[in-house]
């Protein structure tokens, strides 16, 4: 709900309110953001904690406003040159190099639904969404800034974006245009960011903020696994379940930048948007530039609730198309089972074993096309290699469909190998600077998607492939980052627009392809999770989270990912032991217990497994299908544990909660183990708790199998009141698991885990 009262604008959602104040000078200042307030509440002016004075050598606005120090004012969209020396939201050049702007309030509009200036953008819904457009104009020049705020009532999310309009006769060059700026009155916040690298995506970094600017960004041409565009501000005492949290993210897949500045006066400014690095965009008279959208949420009750706001927002307003609300199929992917070394016969034997176990989708990964028998050749030639697949993609598709399996196919359209027909025909289509030898990544080059002819070629090549194979699912990969930024595209003004134009070309291709194939389930991938962002999710309902499927690393990777993105978007597979990325050995049941929290599948050679593992997999798939909706669409919560050795996760849908208990290392005869507390359950109800039965291989327990085997593989159940579960918590140790003595020594083993099913009773 959005309203105006005097000089104040109130943007409210179910539990939050964002307030903007227009100052008597016309400047648009930020007033407050936090729990919901009533615009008619008495004494509202006193909640503004900002003390705007900067005595000493500070610059004040003008002689009529000697107390208005721009450097210490909370603003909605900071510019340069009137005394505010903090990081600006907007930087421009005009009239031969001037950059000073002084924008003030000009007009406003409140309307149902939202604008759709930049694509991709969040969906709208007239019932649930209301928007505010504030128009600002520079005091001297015909430069207009439109600030958009859309309130998603139910999800407690505010969407922000900006549009810059040049109505001067001269050209205006944009050098930095943020999607959102947020000025907070104190710096008593810590920053959570989601950082890493290949195989270590979105590990949570928590740090205190200190004076100066902290930058989280990507300059790699994609949103990147190094720093995700998701960030949180949390209080020192904030945990998953309590304390204040402000979270934000960007709907964009290219270079992004999140700048967090602690000012000399201990205030915080946060900016998020397209990275100003190597960016410039020229607007001729009448031209405008719209930023990608940013999303913002606030929780007074810990970061679980902020993440849940984002989860429900993403499921409703980012994911679209046929698969939006559909349960995702259980898949088998041949990559780690065969790598490049496969024949059709091998694929079909894998498929038939998969079918026998209950798997629904077979995914053929890299290596089926052109000269691609290793990663040194073939990218760009999207034609089936018939020496591997004698009946072509159409033949393989037919065979899989006749086995009642869906057919999934891997592609990496944005790339070209030097050893390919495409490169021989169009060497100038790769990104490279004339006269320089381009740098290489995985022996391959990136195609210049800022050029329409390249996008058109890819569109027709992919249409052919997807139709021929009657493909049901596509894994869209992208395995290197950008170098040698250069384009023959005349529109890429002075190369400063190159990165952004590439992303616009990619979005154009994706929107055409997804419109042409509305039934295909697309999964985005980028050497694992190098492009896990809301822009890609607007086209592809799920993302391959990481190439690293090691059980222990996945705990961190998935926990970080779920802080911003819902389980249904998160590809998670059980692969072989020892794991190919970590060489760690772990049991197949424990690998399942961790992988089943997302869009789930297997990625190992099923034809080589022993009978006990196959039996375990059959049960796992049965369990997953039974609780798929809870695991993919339930409310995910990290449950804090005071014992660093234990991890608890939960997911709740209607009357069912699934809980993961994961132990890092085995600690025999240990004293303290934390209890499981589920404070979100209903205190007035009773719950039946049972554990998922696991099949333990004899060889994993050795000579003591006969005594241990039974206790780890049996099912137990108990009834516990909601009040005890909420307020006291319960031990999952001996009392719960029957054969006390063995459970007491935590025979779950290193990296051992269990799943519990908690059903509300009538």
Query: Which parts of this chain interact with ligand DGJ (CB under 6 A)?
Result: 335, 365-366, 410, 477, 479, 525, 527-528, 544, 547
Task: Work out how close the CB of 605 gets to ligand DGJ at its nearest, in angstroms, rounded to a whole number.
Answer: 15
Give the whole-angstrom CA distance, residue 470 versus residue 116: 33
- By the 8 A CB rule, do 567 and 148 touch? no
Q: Which residue has the tokens 């006969």?
A: 706
Given a contact cutoff of 8 angstroms between Cβ atoms, the answer to whether 486 and 450 are in contact is no
H-run or E-run covering 310:
helix 303-313
Q: Where are the beta strands (DSSP E) in 466-509?
A: 473-476
Distance set, CA 28 to CA 31, 148, 294 (Å): 9, 13, 19
DSSP state at residue 437: P
Which CB atom, from 415 or from 513, has the smaller least distance to ligand DGJ? Answer: 415
| 565 vs 648 by CB, closer to ligand DGJ | 565
Q: How far is the CB of 557 from ligand DGJ (least distance, A)?
A: 13
Cβ-proximal residues to 155 (8 Å cutoff; 6+ apart), any chain: 13, 128, 297, 309, 312, 313, 316, 317
- The whole-angstrom separation of Cα 159 and Cα 462 is 34
Q: Which residues are catalytic?
A: 477, 547
Nearer to ligand DGJ, 527 or 758 (CB): 527
The CA-atom distances, in angstroms, between 625 and each of 582, 587, 637 are 29, 21, 21
Tokens of 472: 């049901």
Give alpha helix (H) positions in 230-302: none
How far is Cα 651 from Cα 665, in angstroms, rounded to an integer?
24
C-alpha 752: how far from chain center: 28
Taking the least distance from each CB to ligand DGJ, the nearer of 131 and 228 is 228
Strand 599-603 to 331-333 pairing: parallel
And the tokens for 203?
A: 């590990």
Residue among 365 and 533 whose Cβ is closer to ligand DGJ: 365
Q: Which is nearer to ligand DGJ, 408 or 528 (CB)?
A: 528
CA–CA distance, 525 with 541 (Å, rounded to integer): 11
We find the least distance from the C-beta atom of residue 273 to ligand DGJ, in angstroms, to be: 28
What is the distance between the alpha carbons of residues 245 and 14, in angstroms, rounded to a whole number?
Answer: 16
Residue 24: Cβ within 10 Å count: 9
Joined tokens for residue 262 = 């602690």
The least CB distance from residue 357 to ligand DGJ, in Å, is: 21
In angstroms, give the least distance from the CB of 527 to ligand DGJ. Answer: 5
Nearer to ligand DGJ, 31 or 476 (CB): 476
At its nearest, how many Å lie between ligand DGJ and the CB of residue 477? 5
Three-state SS at 337: helix
| Burial classification of residue 738, based on how many CB atoms lie within 10 Å of its CB (0-12 exposed, 13-18 middle, 19 or more buried) | middle
Per DSSP, the three-state class of 746 is coil
Q: Locate tokens 């911003």: which residue?
A: 564
Closest approach of ligand DGJ to the CB of residue 601, in Å = 11
Pick 217 or 547: Cβ nearer ligand DGJ: 547
Closest approach of Cβ 602 to ligand DGJ, in Å? 13
| Whether the Cβ atoms of residue 378 and residue 371 lie closer than 8 Å to each other | yes
Residue closer to ligand DGJ, measured from CB, 200 or 637? 200
Question: Nearest distance from residue 548's CB to ligand DGJ, in Å?
Answer: 10
* Structure tokens belonging to residue 259: 């700048």
Q: Judged by CB, which is closer to ligand DGJ: 520, or 525?
A: 525
Distance of CA 447 to the CA centre of its chain: 25
**Closest distance of CB 198 from ligand DGJ, Å:** 9
Whether the Cβ atoms of residue 293 and residue 179 lie closer than 8 Å to each other = yes
CB 132 within 8 Å of CB 115 = no
Tokens representing residue 550 in the block: 């090691």
- Which residue of this chain has its Cβ atom nearest to ligand DGJ in the complex? 366
CB 554, min distance to ligand DGJ, A = 14
Nearest to 192 by CA among 255, 225, 151, 238: 238
Say if CB 481 and CB 221 are below 8 A apart: yes
Tokens of residue 45, six digits:
């002016």
List, in order, residues 6 or more apart from 349 with CB less than 8 Å away.
Answer: 607
**Which residue number, 217 or 365, has a Cβ lying nearer to ligand DGJ?**
365
SS3 383: coil
Beta strands in 582-677 (DSSP E): 599-603, 635-639, 646-653, 656-663
- Token match 């307020």: residue? 727
CA nearest neighbour of 202 among 233, 234, 227: 227
Nearest Cα neighbor of 70 from 211, 180, 189, 183 is 183
User: In the complex with ligand DGJ, which residue's Cβ is closer, 478 or 701?
Assistant: 478
C-beta of 441: minimal distance to ligand DGJ in Å? 12
Query: Tokens 């000009």 belong to which residue?
Result: 106
Smallest separation, CB 88 to ligand DGJ (Å) = 38
Residue placing its CB nearer to ligand DGJ in the complex, 333 or 432: 333
Residue labelled with tokens 């007491």? 744
């Amino acid at each position: 709900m959005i309203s105006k009262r005097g000089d104040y604008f109130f943007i409210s959602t179910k539990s939050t309110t964002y307030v903007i104040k227009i100052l008597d000078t016309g400047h648009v200042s930020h007033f407050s953001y936090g729990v919901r307030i009533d615009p008619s509440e008495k004494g509202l002016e006193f909640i503004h904690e900002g003390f705007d004075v900067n005595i000493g050598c500070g610059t004040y606005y003008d002689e009529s406003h000697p107390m208005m120090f721009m450097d210490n004012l909370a603003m909605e969209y900071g510019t340069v040159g009137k005394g505010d020396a903090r990081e600006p939201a907007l930087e421009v050049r005009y009239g031969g190099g001037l950059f000073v702007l002084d924008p003030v309030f000009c007009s406003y509009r409140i309307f149902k639904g939202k604008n759709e200036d930049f694509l991709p953008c969040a969906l709208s819904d007239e019932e649930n969404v209301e928007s505010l457009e504030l128009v600002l104009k520079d005091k001297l020049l015909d430069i207009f800034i439109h600030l958009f705020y859309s309130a998603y009532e139910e999800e407690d999310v505010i969407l922000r974006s900006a549009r810059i309009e040049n109505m001067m006769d001269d050209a205006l060059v944009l050098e930095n245009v943020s999607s959102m700026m947020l000025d907070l009155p104190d710096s008593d916040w810590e920053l959570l960011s989601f950082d890493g690298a290949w195989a270590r995506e979105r590990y949570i970094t928590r740090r205190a903020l200190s004076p100066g600017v902290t930058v989280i960004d990507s300059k790699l041409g994609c949103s990147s696994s190094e720093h995700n565009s998701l960030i949180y501000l949390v209080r020192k005492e904030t945990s998953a379940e309590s304390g204040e949290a402000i979270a934000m993210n960007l709907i964009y897949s290219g270079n992004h930048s999140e700048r967090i500045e602690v000012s000399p006066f201990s205030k915080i400014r946060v900016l998020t948007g397209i990275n100003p690095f190597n960016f410039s965009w020229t607007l001729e008279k009448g031209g405008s530039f719209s930023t990608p959208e940013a999303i913002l949420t606030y929780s007074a009750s810990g970061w679980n609730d902020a993440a849940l706001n984002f989860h429900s927002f993403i499921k409703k307003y980012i994911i679209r198309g046929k698969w939006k609300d559909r349960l995702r199929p259980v898949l088998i992917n041949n990559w780690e089972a065969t790598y490049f070394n496969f024949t059709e016969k091998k694929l079909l034997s894998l498929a038939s074993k998969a079918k026998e176990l209950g798997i629904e989708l077979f995914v053929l990964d890299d290596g089926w096309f052109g000269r691609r028998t290793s990663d040194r050749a073939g990218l760009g030639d999207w034609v089936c290699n018939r020496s591997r697949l004698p009946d072509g993609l159409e033949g393989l598709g037919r065979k899989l469909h006749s086995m009642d399996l869906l057919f999934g196919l891997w592609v990496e359209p944005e790339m070209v190998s030097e050893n390919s027909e495409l490169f021989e025909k169009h060497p100038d289509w790769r990104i490279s600077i004339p006269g320089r030898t381009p740098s290489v990544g995985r022996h391959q080059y990136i195609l210049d998607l800022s050029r329409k002819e390249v996008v058109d070629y890819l569109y027709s090549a992919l249409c052919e492939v997807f139709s021929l194979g009657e493909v049901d699912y596509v894994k869209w990969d992208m395995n290197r980052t950008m170098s040698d930024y250069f384009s023959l595209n005349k529109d890429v003004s002075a190369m400063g627009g190159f990165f952004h134009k590439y992303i616009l070309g990619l979005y154009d291709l994706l929107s055409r392809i997804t419109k042409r194939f509305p039934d295909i389930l697309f999964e985005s991938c980028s050497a694992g999770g190098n492009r896990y962002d809301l822009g890609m999710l607007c086209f592809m309902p799920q993302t391959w989270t990481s190439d690293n499927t090691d059980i222990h690393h996945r705990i961190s990777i998935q926990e970080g990912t779920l802080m911003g993105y819902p389980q249904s978007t998160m590809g998670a597979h059980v692969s072989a032991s020892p794991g190919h990325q970590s060489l760690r050995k772990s049991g197949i049941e424990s690998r399942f217990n961790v992988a089943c929290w997302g869009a789930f599948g297997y990625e190992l050679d099923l034809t080589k497994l022993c009978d006990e593992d196959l039996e375990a997999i059959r049960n796992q798939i049965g369990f997953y299908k039974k609780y798929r909706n809870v695991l993919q669409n339930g409310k995910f919560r990290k449950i804090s544990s005071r014992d660093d050795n234990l991890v608890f996760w939960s997911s709740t849908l209607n009357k069912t909660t699934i809980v993961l208990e994961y132990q890092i290392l085995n600690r025999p005869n240990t004293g303290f183990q934390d209890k499981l507390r589920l404070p979100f359950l209903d205190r007035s109800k009773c719950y039946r708790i049972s554990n998922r039965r696991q099949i333990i291989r004899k060889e994993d327990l050795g000579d003591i199998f006969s005594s241990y085997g039974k206790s780890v593989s049996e099912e137990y159940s108990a009834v516990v009141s909601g009040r005890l579960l909420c307020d006291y918590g319960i031990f999952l140790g001996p009392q719960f698991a029957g054969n006390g003595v063995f459970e007491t020594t935590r025979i779950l083993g290193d990296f051992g885990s269990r799943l519990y099913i908690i059903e509300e009773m009538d």
